[in-house]
Chain A
Amino acid sequence: MNSQTERVDTRPVNTRTGKPIGPISQPGYYPGFSTLAQQKFWDAKTREVVLDRVINVPEIRFFSQQEARLLEAICDRILPQDDRDESHKIPIVPQIDRRLYENSHDGYRYEDMPPDREAFQLGLRAVEEIAQHEYRLGFLEIGPREQDRILQSLHDGKPSAAHEIWKRMAVHRFWMLLVSDCADAYYSHPWAWDEIGFGGPAYPRAYMRLERGEAEPWESEEKRYQWKAPDSSVSGVFEPVAGQAEHLGSPGQGGTH
C-alpha cells in the first residue's frame, strides 16, 4: 500500500453517531449470538465439518503467491471486512484456492466460459491490466476507491482494458463466478451466521418457534443500528449486474423447490 491509501478510512460508519464501526469481533445486529456456542446440540458429523472450516484454514496450493495477494486484495473489496478485527476476519482466498486446487465445481460450465481454474487466472490478469491501463499502477498499489471502481466496471460489464481476455470469457459470468465464490466462503462460516442471525445447524435439537420470526430460547433478538458504507467505497449501492436480462441465470444457484 502507498501512503495515500493508508490515510483512507475503510470502515463503515454508524450514521447516528457518525463514528466508524470497528474493528470489532462481531458486526451485525445480533451482538453476542454464537452458533458455535450451540455445537454440543449438533450431530457429530456436522460439528466435525463446521469446526474444520473454522480451525483448519487451508494453505495456498493452487495460486502463486503473487496471484494470491492480488486475489486477496480483490476479495477484500468484494466482501470487505474492515469492521472485523484481525482475529475474526473470515478467510476467503484459502477457500477459493482449495476449491480450484481440488478442481471441485458445481457440475456444469457455461459454453462461453473456460474451466474455473483458467477463468480465475485470466480474471486476475485482466484486473491487473485494467489497473495498469487506468492508473499506471498495480491493483495492489491503488486506493480502495480506485479498486472498487475497477470492480464496479466488471459488475457493469464495461471493463476499460484486457479486451483479449474478455473475448475468451464473458465479463458478467466471471463477475458472478468471483462474487459467488466469495459469498460461499464468507456465508458458510459460523461467524457470518452470527453476524446475520442465522440459527445454523439444528439437528437433532430442532427449531420450535417457526412463526413471526421469533427467536429460539438460544437465539438472540435483533438489535438494529443504522450504518453506511465508508466514503472510500462505491459498493454500498445496488445496481443491476450489467447484461442481466431475464435470461442470464446465476452461477452456482442452488435448488430451491
Chain B
Amino acid sequence: MLGSIQRIETPMHRFSEAEEVDYVIVGVGAGGGVLLQRLARAGFRVIGFDAGPFWDTERDWVSDEKGAHNLYWNDMRITAGEHPLAFGANNSGKGVGGGTVHWASFTPRLHPSDFSIHSTDGVGVDWPIPYSDLKPYYELMELELPVSGPSYYPWGDPHGYPYGPHPMGGVGDALIRGCTNLGIGVSAGGPVAILSGSRANRPHCIYRGFCIQGCKVGAKASTLITHVPDAIENGAEIRPNCMVSRIHVGATRRVTGVSYFDSDGRACFQKAKAVIVAGYSIETPRLLLNSACPGFENGLANSSGCVGRYLMAQAGNVVLGRFEELVRMYKAPPAHALTEEFYETDPKRGFARGFAIQTVGPLPMSFAKQMMVAKGAWGWGLRSVMMDYNHWAAFGFLGEILPNADNRVQLAEEKDRLGIPIAKITFNLYDNDKKLIEFGKNKTMEVMWAAGAQEVVQEARYAHLVGAARMGDNPETSVVDQFGRTHDIANLFICDGSIMPTQGSANPGLTIMALAARAADYLIAEGEEIFKPRTRNIRKPPMRRDLSPPDTWGHGMPRI
C-alpha cells in the first residue's frame, strides 16, 4: 500500500545481473525517483538501487515521532568542524522515496537571481544555466507533485499554484499576524507539496501534523507515490535494501556497472551502459571517492578535486515563541506559511543574499530538545516548559549559506558494517554566513514578538544539504555539466542535490526534481549517443511533457 488507497498493480520487471541494462540509478529519492520514471517511460531498461526498504506505508509507517526513526539515514557519519552539521532525521532519508518521504514539503522555486550571484553580488558562483532554463521544469513538477499554494505568489518570478492553499494552523496564524503587524508580505497555505483536494488515488490532507514522520495518508508528495509507481508500470526495476559500494571503470575509461550488497549482504555486480548517482550530498561523494581505482586515484570524476567540496546546508535556526493563548502547533502540516520578503540581497544589511521565514511544527520529542538548547531546560524546568507545549509556536529561519571549498565530505578511516569507509563531514561558517544568520535570526524573533509572543527564544541549527559535486561549464572547477554528466567520464552522471552550485534560501526538493526532469529530457533526446564513446553534446533538449505520470498534466494553473 502507498498511502491509504494507492496500490501498484503491475508486477515489477526483474533484470538479470548478467544483462547489461541501459541505466543504473543509485538512490531513488527526489532526483533518482523522477529520473527513473522518465527513463522507464521513454523505454530504457533501468534499475534503481536504494540502500533502504521499498515502503508499504500502511504497514511500515506510524503516526509516532519515535517510531519514525527508521525513515532516516542512520548509518554512522562523523561530523566535524567549528559548526558541525547534524544528519539522520535532520536531512537524510533512506528507502525508496529518499528524503521526500520525510520532507516537510515546502516547495518554493529558486529566484532568478540565484543563478548568477557571483555576477551580481560577487559571492559564490554562477550556475551554468539561467532560471529560464529551469522554469518550465518547475512548472511541470508543480503539476506532477502537485503543489498547493496561493494563486499569486509574489516573490522571485511571480507565479501561481495548481492546487488551492491549505487552511491555517496556529503557527501560520502567528506568522501572518507577526508579518502583517510589521508590514511584511506573507504567503498563506503553501507552496507545499501536499494535496489540498483529493486527486486520482491520493486523498487530501487530514492535518494530522506528522508530515516529517512519513505521510501515511498519501496526501504529501514523495517520489515513492508520485513517480515510482509509474516507473514500475513502465518496466523499471527497483532493488531495495541494496547498498552500492563501488562504481567500476573499464579499460576505455568508461563505467561498466556497480558492485553492491544485496538485502542478504551478498556481494553482487550489475552491468550497465551508464550509471547515474543520485545518493544526495553525502552518499554521492562518498561513493565516488570509494570508487577510486587505477587511473582515478582520487575518486571518480574528481580531476577537479571538487568531489566532496562546496557542501552546503542552509541556516535553519528555530525561533520559538510562547503565547498567552493556546496554539497547539501539532495540528496542520508543519509547512503551511512563509515569507520570502528578505530573500534578495539588500546592500543596507551589510551582507550578500538573504533568507526566508517559514512555519515549523515540532512534536514533543523535538520540542523538548529545542527547549534543552534554547532555554537550557532540564529537570523540573524541562517538565514545566513542556507542560506549556500547547502555548508555543515555532518559526524556521531558512538562510542561504555560501559555498566554500573547505566545507566538504571526505572518507573516514572507520568503516560501516559492510566494510565500506564512512563519510566524514567538515563544516564551518564564514563571515557572510555569520552576518546573515545574526540578522535573519533577529528578524525572525522580531516577527515572533510582533505576533504577540510573551517570550521568544531560539535554537541554532541547519536544514537541508546541497552541493559536494557541483555543476559548471569549467571541468577544472566543477564535477558535472549542466545535465549532470561528469566531465571526466562520459557515461557517468549525477542527479541529486549535490550538483547544485548554490542554494538560495528555498527548500531544495523542487529544484532537485526539476533538474532531474531536465536531465531526463537530455538523456532521452541524446538516446543511444550516450552509450557511445566520444560523444558529448551540450544542446538543450526539447521538453517532453508527454512523459509525466498519468493524471498530472493538463490540470488547471491559475493565470497570473
Contact = CB atoms under 8 A, between A and B. Distances in A.
Contacts, number: 298
Interface stretch (B13-21, B78-86, B345-353): B78-86
Contacts of B366: 253-254, 256
A246 B460 contact: yes
A169 to B, nearest CB: 14
Contact of A211 (B168, B216, B378, B394): B168
B362 interface: yes
Nearest to B104: A257
Nearest to B105: A257
A121 interface: no
A46 interface: yes
A179 B89 contact: no
Does more than half of chain A's interface fall in helix, strand or loop, or is it mixed?
A: loop
A43 to B, nearest CB: 6
B497 to A, nearest CB: 14
Given A45-B62, A252-B369, A209 B379 contact: no
A250 B379 contact: no
Interface in B42-89: 58-67, 69, 72-80, 82-89
Interface string A111-138: 1000000000000000000000000000
A139 interface: no
Contacts of B85: 108, 249
Interface string B6-41: 000000000000000000000000000000000000
B63 A254 contact: no
Contact of A253 (B59, B86, B330, B377): B86
B66 A250 contact: no
Question: Which one of B73, B76, B462 has the greatest number of beta carbons of chain A within 10 Å?
Answer: B76
Interface stretch (A54-62, A63-71, A160-168, A230-238): A230-238
B102 interface: yes
Interface in B448-472: 459-463
Contacts of A198: 330, 363-364, 389-390
B216 A257 contact: no
B190 interface: no
Contacts of B377: 238
Interface in B368-402: 368-370, 372-373, 375-387, 389-391, 394, 396, 398
Contacts of B387: 27-29, 195-196
Contact of B378 (A155, A187, A197, A210): A155
Which of B72, B326, B380, B424 is packed against the most chain A CB atoms within 10 Å? Answer: B380
A123 to B, nearest CB: 14
A196 B104 contact: no
B69 A104 contact: yes
Given A78-B379, A235-B378, A207 B208 contact: yes
Contact of B64 (A186, A201, A208, A238): A201
Interface residues of B, number: 104
A49 B375 CA distance: 31
B440 interface: no
Interface size class of A (residues with CB under 8 A): 35 or more
A193 B84 CA distance: 32
Given A80-B383, A237-B381, A250 B60 contact: no
B316 interface: yes
Nearest to A247: B83
B58 A45 contact: yes
A37 interface: no
Contacts of A79: 379, 382-383
Contact of A249 (B86, B169, B376): B86
Given A176-B372, A256-B394, A108 B77 contact: yes
A158 interface: no
A257 B396 contact: yes
B135 interface: no
Interface stretch (B144-152, B250-258, B267-275, B331-339): B331-339
Contacts of A8: none
Contact of A257 (B62, B72, B86, B507): B507
Interface in B167-219: 167-170, 173, 206-210, 212, 216-217
Contact of A107 (B74, B208, B376, B462): B74
A18 interface: no
Interface string B462-501: 1100000000000000000000000000000000000000
Contact of A207 (B4, B62, B325, B331): B331
B169 A211 contact: yes
A249 B376 CA distance: 13
Nearest to B327: A213
Contacts of A192: 364, 386
A106 B87 CA distance: 7
A49 B62 contact: yes
Nearest to A225: B387
B460 to A, nearest CB: 5
B106 interface: yes
Scoring A79, A184, A198, A240 by chain B CB atoms within 10 A of each residue's CB, the highest score goes to A198
A142 interface: no
A229 B318 contact: no
Interface in B100-119: 102-104, 106
Contacts of B379: 77-80, 148, 151, 229, 233-236
Interface string A140-176: 0000000010010001000000000000000000001
Nearest to B103: A255
Contact of A109 (B78, B169, B212, B378): B78
A105 interface: yes
A202 B209 contact: yes
B125 interface: no
A108 B88 contact: yes
Contacts of A43: 58, 62-63, 216
Contact of B84 (A111, A205, A222): A111
Given A104-B74, A188-B65, A196-B390, 14 more contacts: A49-B67, A106-B88, A195-B386, A197-B390, A201-B208, A211-B167, A212-B173, A213-B391, A222-B326, A249-B86, A250-B372, A253-B366, A253-B459, A255-B102
25 contacts: A27-B387, A45-B59, A45-B61, A45-B62, A49-B62, A79-B379, A104-B74, A109-B77, A111-B78, A180-B369, A196-B386, A197-B328, A200-B63, A201-B63, A203-B63, A203-B210, A203-B216, A211-B167, A212-B173, A227-B384, A235-B382, A248-B460, A250-B370, A257-B106, A257-B359
Please give me the 9 A-B residue pairs with the lowest Cβ-Cβ distance, nearest first: A235-B379, A213-B326, A107-B88, A206-B206, A201-B63, A229-B380, A111-B80, A202-B208, A183-B368
Interface of B: 4, 58-67, 69, 72-80, 82-92, 102-104, 106, 167-170, 173, 206-210, 212, 216-217, 316, 318, 325-328, 330-332, 334-335, 358-370, 372-373, 375-387, 389-391, 394, 396, 398, 424, 429, 434, 437, 459-463, 507
